[in-house]
Structures are given as structure tokens and as C-alpha cells.
Amino acid sequence: MKKIDIISATPDLLKSPFSGSIMKRALDNGLVDINFHDLKDYSISNNKQIDDYQFGGGAGMVLMIEPINNCVNFLKKQNKYSEIIYMTPDAPVLNQKICNKLSVSGNLIIICGHYKGIDQRVRDNIITMEISIGDYVLSGGELPAAVLCDSIVRLIPGVLNDGTSALTDSFQDNLLAPPVYTRPSTFQNLKVPDVLISGNKNKIEAWREEKSIEKTERIRPDLLKK
Ligand code: SAH
């Protein structure tokens, strides 16, 4: 079973994304094992210090190397890891290809930064991969770590009820997903496209592909160039 260990200064922030829906079901069914580790438990000082001012001056605290190093070493003694990932805005942006790759990789450690980030020596010597979730800055790496976990976990075989469902989502073939509709087929004067209630599988397939391409051309033409 894939193990994901998340190291954080505020692990409480991680709880809710894992406590419902698909992620909870994956955990309950033993399809993935996800654990949170509080950086304060690995501090080397009596007052549980984990961050300090940056050398050279300037606003913002920086996570220290010792607690992170202690925690990573503790985990490495018990398990083998494929990647030690740092969530950070100044890194390549997450995409479906990376999610696919990480879903079939071995165990993962994910490190969340906060405030001004983490000591560069952690990034240079301990981290094996850095991921951003987009070109904007959040206050901590917990939401990004939850985003990464969700995107990976839903791809693990058995997690989604319908095994093919993830394959028809956006980005799997560089296309955005086609529109979807459900009952009622007529709401006030709003009707579902006839083809979807025609029962003709080939026509439905062709319509969906056409809509996918149309939508991608309009909203994300960059994907079609890939
Ligand atoms: N000083 C840093 C930002 C620190 S934000 C800079 O300017 O690049 C604090 C923490 O939030 C980071 O250490 C990181 O773990 C997390 N974070 C913020 N935005 C993020 C993003 N877009 N993707 C991934 N992690 C992010």
C-alpha cells in the first residue's frame, strides 16, 4: 500500500480534506495510508522552536533545517520513499502528468512550508522534488499538500467507484472534459442536448469529443499544442 507522510508545522490544517468523500473512503478501505507529522515534535529545543529569523534580515520566519532533517530521518528509518516533495510557489506547476506519475510511484514524503519558507539547505540536500500548485502565494503548504494528495489518491486503482472515470476527466488527453447533464431533461425552458438522450452510443461519443475540442480551443488552446 502506498504511504504518504506529510510534515507540517500546523498539521491541524490538514485534517478536513482527508475526512470526507473520496479521500476518506480510500483511507478507510486501506488503499492508501496517509499520516501527518507535527514538526514541533522533532524540534531540538525545549521550547519546541521550529523557525527563526532569516540571516541577512528581512520580514518573515523561516523553518529550520534540524526539525525537518530529524523528521525525515525518522521516517526513512521505517520506510523507503520514492520522492521527498516540498510544496512551494517557486517550482514547476503541478499538472495531470505529474499526478499520474506520482500515483504509481512508491511512498512519498510531502513537506509543507509556512511564513517565508524553509531553509534553502533543506531544498538543496533533503528534497528530491518541488511542486507548486499555481502562480499565487498561500500562507502555508498544507492546502497545496492536500491538493497534491487528492490528485494522486483518486488515480489509485479501486479508489474511484468507476475505474474508467478518472480517464475521462480533463487533461488526461490534453483536452478539457465535455459538459455533463443530469435529470430532469427539461428544467423550465432549459433542455438537455437531444443527442445525450438518443441512446446512440457512437453519436454520444462523437458529440462529447467535439465538445471537448471546442471547449479546449476556446479556453485552453495551449493544451492542443502539446
Ligand atoms: N516566500 C515564498 C513564499 C512562502 S509562502 C516565496 O515568495 O516564494 C509559505 C509556504 O506556503 C511555502 O513555504 C509553501 O510551502 C506554501 N505555498 C504557498 N504558495 C504555494 C503554491 N502556490 N504552491 C505550493 N506551495 C505553496
Ligand 1 nearest atom to the CA of residue 90, by list position: 8
- Average per-residue pLDDT for the chain: 96
pLDDT tens figures, 67-90:
999 999 999 999 999 999 999 999
pLDDT of residue 78: 98
C-alpha–C-alpha distance, residues 1 and 31, integer Å = 6
**Above 70 in pLDDT, residue 14?**
yes
Assess whether the C-beta atom of 87 lies below 6 angstroms from ligand 1.
Answer: yes
Instruction: Give the per-residue pLDDT at 216.
Output: 97
> What's the 87 CA to ligand 1 centre distance in angstroms?
7
Q: What is the pLDDT of residue 48?
A: 97
- On the CB side of 50, CA atoms within 13 Å amount to 24
Q: Read off the pLDDT of each residue in 108-132 and give the average, rounded to a whole number.
A: 97
pLDDT at 6: 98
Mean pLDDT of all residues in 193-203: 98
The mean pLDDT value for 88-103 works out to 97
| 37 Cβ closer than 6 Å to some ligand 1 atom | no
Q: With contact defined as beta carbons under 8 Å apart, do 96 and 171 qualify?
A: yes
Residue 91's CB is within 10 A of a number of other CB atoms, namely 16
φ and ψ at 167, to 5 degrees?
A: -70, -20
Query: 92 in ligand 1 pocket by Cβ < 6 Å?
Result: no
pLDDT of res. 169: 87
Query: Which of 54, 87, 130, 131 maximizes ligand 1 atoms within 8 Å of its Cβ, making it the mutation to test the pocket?
Result: 87
The pLDDT value recorded for residue 164 is: 67
Q: Which atom of ligand 1 lies closest to the CA of 136?
A: 22
C-beta 67 within 6 A of ligand 1:
no
Closest C-alpha residue for ligand 1 atom 20: 89
End-to-end CA distance of the chain: 33
pLDDT for 60 equals 94
Sorting pLDDT into bands at 50, 70 and 90, what band is 185? very high
Q: How far is the CA of 157 from the centre of ligand 1 (A)?
A: 31
Which of the four pLDDT bands, split at 50, 70 and 90, describes residue 116? very high
User: Beta strand 51-53 with 32-38: parallel, antiparallel or unpaired?
Assistant: unpaired
What is the percent of the chain where pLDDT is above 90?
92
Domains of the chain: 2-153 (3.40.1280.10), 170-224 (1.10.1270.20)
pLDDT for res 168: 81
Contacts of 214 (CB under 8 A, 6+ apart): none
For ligand 1, the distance from its centroid to the CA atom of residue 209, given in whole angstroms, is: 37
Q: Tell me the per-residue pLDDT of 33-66, one tens digit each, with 9 for 90 and over.
A: 999 999 999 999 999 999 999 999 999 999 999 9
**Confidence band, pLDDT 50/70/90 cuts, at residue 163:** low
Alpha-carbon gap, residue 146 to 12, rounded angstroms: 12
- According to the model, what pLDDT value does residue 162 have? 74
Burial class (CB in 10 A: 0-12, 13-18, 19+), 125: exposed
Report how far ligand 1's centroid is from the alpha carbon of 189 (Å): 47
137 backbone dihedrals φ, ψ, rounded to 5°: -110, 125
Tell whether ligand 1 has an atom less than 6 A from the beta carbon of residue 88.
Answer: yes
